[in-house]
Structure 1
Amino acid sequence: MVHLLDIDQLRTFVAIADMGSFTRAAEVVHKTQSAVSMQMKRLEERVGRPVFERDGRASRLTEDGERLLDYARRIVRLNGECMSSFETRALEGRVRLGLPDDYADRYLPEILARFAASHPRAEVTVVCEPTPMLIDRVQNGDLDLAIITHVDRRGPSEIIRVEQLLWTTSARHDVHKSSPVPLALGRPTCDWRQSATQALERADRPFRVGFVSWNSTAVGAAVLAGLAVAVLPESAVRPGMRILGPSDGFPALPSCKIGLLRSRGETSPLAELLAAEIRQSLDNLGAGRLTAAAE
């Protein structure tokens, strides 16, 4: 006999995985901790496998729980999208979106165009700030959604895109041959900056930080002017830039995870619809064609 999964149980399950504990998840789904525990017991009975195991005083997902989580996210998301499509109020109202300025430059035009075409009476308020500030805003309830640079130590988010970080220089200059090589990077707390400097230190490649900005346009200007080398995700490489690699003396860099962060409270149908457009837009963005345009 096929057992049907309960949407409410899956929603609670996802909340536990995202929040890291039954207690914090109970606050998000507006249930008591005992009710949350009972839901997870019934979910385990439905799937016939334990999805959590004790890790000291905490609980962590089992291998089967990790497998269920991917399905649970998709089922809960599709359920929300389905119900929102029948909700006339979803066509009106306001949704608050935050993202760093470099993501806004690359992703926002398509996201807004798609969303406005489907929901012309909706109002989208956009806030452009660095990832750490956006996380604080989401946690404080000032934003409904945020597109962020995902780093494990900052907490969970829904990974919606993964791109390779690349060394970039001007296609018309040889600044990358300088020693020490001048760099255009974000502030000291920027994870891309830390990845870049650590990679050069391990390669024993002398460098100096010549330009510092959280604004991607300013960093790109320094690169195109032939004043510095920068680290950018693949989709941010622009015409006039050249990608550097180990043959140029620049070691490989890690990938960049882009996450979607939601408010801890109950999300509105409008926010669910915008989240769906964000996922679709980033899926449609072909990094390869952007890289080719820069060659």
Structure 2
Amino acid sequence: MMDPPLDLDSVRTFVHIAELESFTRAAEAMGTSQAAVSLKLKRLEGRLGCRLFDRTPRYVQLSPRGASFLDQARALLELHDRTLASLSEQRRRLTIGISDHVAGPELPALIARMNSQDPQLVIEIRIGSSADLLQQFDRREIDSALIRLRSDRDDGSLIAEEQFGWFAAPGWQHRPDEPLPIATMAEPCGVRALACRLLDDAGVKWREIFVGGGVMAVAAAVMAGLGVAALSPRMVPFGAMDVGRRLGLPTLPRQPIMLHSRVKDGPSREALAALAAAFRGAART
């Protein structure tokens, strides 16, 4: 009697868990429950006759058999998706605006993950300020906006909240008799406005020493020793120091990552859900 074929939905679930290193985030990316994800994995492990993950309450890690199966699983799904796509000449397009304070060093890997979710999906990414991207979304120039701006509207969903700090280069020292030199993004920037307001409210004298057109430029100015900047820890180069407590600077509140989307198409929605789940994981690390 011929053995039953592999269930592709279970294989896709396995790949999601492996890439996101979490049953919870895999469920979020697939728009299902954690129980459903666990059941699909259990069926796949039963069909393969081996354990694919070593699991504890604190981590999820590929087993040796799972690690060897991962590349084969990806290849199987890619062949399946390309076969289906070859039967249709229509290519879908998804235009996503991502705030410069959200798009970090993980972005290339996250785009690759979206592409693996739907290889025939044309992905267009626009980087800008949260306010500008939200206006583009309202004008229907982009399909979705992943921004760092909480507004009084009900069409956005909270993806994660991320802690910010006051970062400076290693060994950088502030002269107490001089205003605090800060590096900021160009206006309009919600993080810039928040940081300047908190400094003013705390009575901290400051001066703008550098204005960057992007977060990477601001981080570069920080590492060049120009001054301090309000940044997320995942956006600063290795070695940057949070000097907020040492300098007595006001505590920066946790900043939300919000998703606004009008995407209805199933495959595009799944690719966007995978992106959102990955950003949840990046913000928590």
TM bucket by the smaller chain?
0.5 to 0.7
- Distance change (3 Å), C-alpha of 1:151 and 1:178: farther
CA contact (8 A) 1:187 1:213 kept: yes
Q: Look up the SS of the partner of 1:158 in the other structure.
A: strand
The CA distance in 1 between the partners of 2:237 and 2:143, in whole Å, is 30
Alignment partner, residue 98 of structure 1:
97
Alignment partner, residue 242 of structure 1:
241
Q: Is 1:115 aligned to 2:119, yes or no?
A: no
The CA distance in 1 between the partners of 2:126 and 2:162, in whole Å, is 23
The answer to which structure has the higher helix fraction is 1
Shift of 1:175: 4.1
- Distance change (3 Å), C-alpha of 1:115 and 1:178: farther
After TM superposition, the score normalised by the length of structure 1 is 0.62
Alignment partner, residue 270 of structure 1:
267
Letter paired with 1:97: I
Shift of 1:281: 0.6
Shift of 1:260: 0.8
Q: Is 1:284 aligned to 2:271, yes or no?
A: no
Aligned-residue sequence identity (percent) comes to: 24
Q: Look up the SS of the partner of 2:234 in the other structure.
A: helix
* Number of equivalent positions: 207
Map 1:88-167 to 2 at 5 A: 92-153=91-152, 156-167=155-166
Alignment partner, residue 9 of structure 2:
none
The CA distance in 1 between the partners of 2:175 and 2:119, in whole Å, is 47
Superimposed CA distance per residue, residues 46-73 of structure 1 (whole angstroms, 9 cap, x where no aligned partner) = xxxxxxxxxxxxxxxxxxxxxxxxxxxx
Shift of 1:173: 2.1
Letter paired with 2:160: R
Question: Runs ≥4 in structure 1, deviation > 6 angstroms?
Answer: none
Alignment partner, residue 201 of structure 1:
200
Alignment partner, residue 251 of structure 2:
252
The CA distance in 2 between the partners of 1:251 and 1:276, in whole Å, is 35
- Distance change (3 Å), C-alpha of 1:172 and 1:287: farther
Shift of 1:92: 4.7
After TM superposition, the score normalised by the length of structure 2 is 0.64
CA contact (8 A) 2:104 2:234 kept: no
Shift of 1:282: 1.5
Shift of 1:151: 2.2
RMSD after superposition: 3.0
Q: Could you list the runs of 5+ residues in structure 1 that have no partner in the other structure?
A: 1-73, 80-86, 289-295
- Distance change (3 Å), C-alpha of 1:113 and 1:184: same
Shift of 1:280: 1.8
Shift of 1:287: 4.6
CA contact (8 A) 2:110 2:278 kept: yes
CA contact (8 A) 1:100 1:129 kept: yes
The CA distance in 2 between the partners of 1:237 and 1:177, in whole Å, is 25
Shift of 1:179: 1.9
Shift of 1:172: 3.2
The CA distance in 1 between the partners of 2:240 and 2:151, in whole Å, is 30
* Greater shift in the superposed pair: 100-109 or 166-175: 100-109
CA contact (8 A) 1:186 1:213 kept: yes
The CA distance in 2 between the partners of 1:102 and 1:284, in whole Å, is 16
The CA distance in 2 between the partners of 1:188 and 1:109, in whole Å, is 26
Superimposed CA distance per residue, residues 179-208 of structure 1 (whole angstroms, 9 cap, x where no aligned partner) = 201111123432212221222223222110
CA contact (8 A) 2:98 2:126 kept: yes
